[in-house]
Structure 1
């Protein structure tokens, strides 16, 4: 039985809120206590993504990311009529999650905002590359015999953790417009905000194109 759009949107709101609560929440906790370290924050993002995929994947697909929704649409795996409702649900969930994090943050906190470390151009390139890698993994492990199961969720969440671990110090390793826009909105820290939309969406679309090339059948000998 196909779930209603309302159920899917509720899952996306809830999932994206939880992503922000535990992901950016970990960044805020580390900002205050230094107990987690950068590796701990990256791990928190990977773990929450894994849990969300396993718990909400059967309901909405657990996109929890506008760039992923756009990527699935571009790949022909998601109906166009649901793209805008999904993106709106993800943005709403992200704002709710970031508002929850603000309750424990100290005054002046950026709420886990993603910021360029060495210039806009470098951060844009990094976000595009990281989002390309994430979307390509998602497309490759959610097709055919690998479409369902714990290993697909593990591969995706491990990619998030790995890319956050390596790219986080340089660009924040957002890979997700909702994840970046919500902290920016609630903290007022808007530095380079647009690149966290352009980079993830461009990376996701590039991954769709590369995935199609990888699926091309070799000509018969």
Structure 2
């Protein structure tokens, strides 16, 4: 092959890569990833920041205040970037959407990395602003038996995903209220379970502070619990999504689960 031919081939490869990098789809996807990273950053910064301030300044925010902060920041960020990235901010939610064919599988790893990176950056920011001792850890650690925290994380993650599925994926719901519904659900969950498990509901929420402060006590609870809860919550909502059809119609020619998956896939096209 002559040098001229090699030069032409290299130029063609360069143009191809340039077209891919600057294509409309690539730009839109990068916007989604950046929105997911920024949204997760501020969710963790505000939520965990309220925990830090409460511990360092003699309970000035109070536990109810912390609960409200978590709900408010999630609501604010959903309305800010939900129309761009879908406002998952949570690897468990992203994976569950993928399982039920409401999110493309090829985008899942990038979304999860963006969420984890946002959490780590927010946690690092908090440790740079404040000199945080180990007893002021702002992550999630089980209080009492790990099994109890696991059960509670499954329950509250189930509720969160059940609500998300209802307000964000069902065309019969009032979509404009999604942010309020999800934010209020998070507030309620923190109120009820916060003193026991920390009410994570989100592997990224737990991993970021744990990595930055190197506190890994009971971390498996927050990897297993939210995943089991969100998948279960998504599955149950999909079971009741089709109650306008008789059960015999859904189960006549195939299994109910297969029929449900087919209908879900059709709804996303």
Taking structure 2 as the reference length, the TM-score comes to 0.78
> Equivalent residue for 1:80?
105
Is 2:179 aligned against 1:118? Answer: no
Whose RCO is larger (CA < 8 A, sep 6+)? 1
CA distance in 2, matches of 1:220, 1:95: 46
Is 2:268 aligned against 1:216? Answer: no
After superposition, what is the alpha-carbon deviation per residue over 1:24-45, rounded to whole angstroms, capped at 9, x for unaligned? Answer: 0000000011111111111110
Two-structure CA RMSD over aligned residues (Å): 1.7
Which of 49, 55, 58 pairs up with 1:25?
Answer: 49
Q: Answer 1 or 2: which has greater helix percent.
A: 2
Structure 2: runs of 5 or more not aligned: 1-23, 249-269
After superposition, what is the alpha-carbon deviation per residue over 1:52-96, rounded to whole angstroms, capped at 9, x for unaligned? Answer: 000000110110010110111122111111111100000000001
- Bigger radius of gyration, 1 or 2? 2
Which of 7, 30, 38 pairs up with 1:14?
Answer: 38
Paired residue secondary structure (1:93): helix
> Equivalent residue for 1:38?
63
Tell me the matched-pair count.
Answer: 220
How far apart are residue 220 of structure 1 and its match?
8.1
> Equivalent residue for 1:148?
175
Which of 59, 62, 67 pairs up with 2:84?
Answer: 59
CA distance in 1, matches of 2:148, 2:118: 29
> Equivalent residue for 1:131?
157
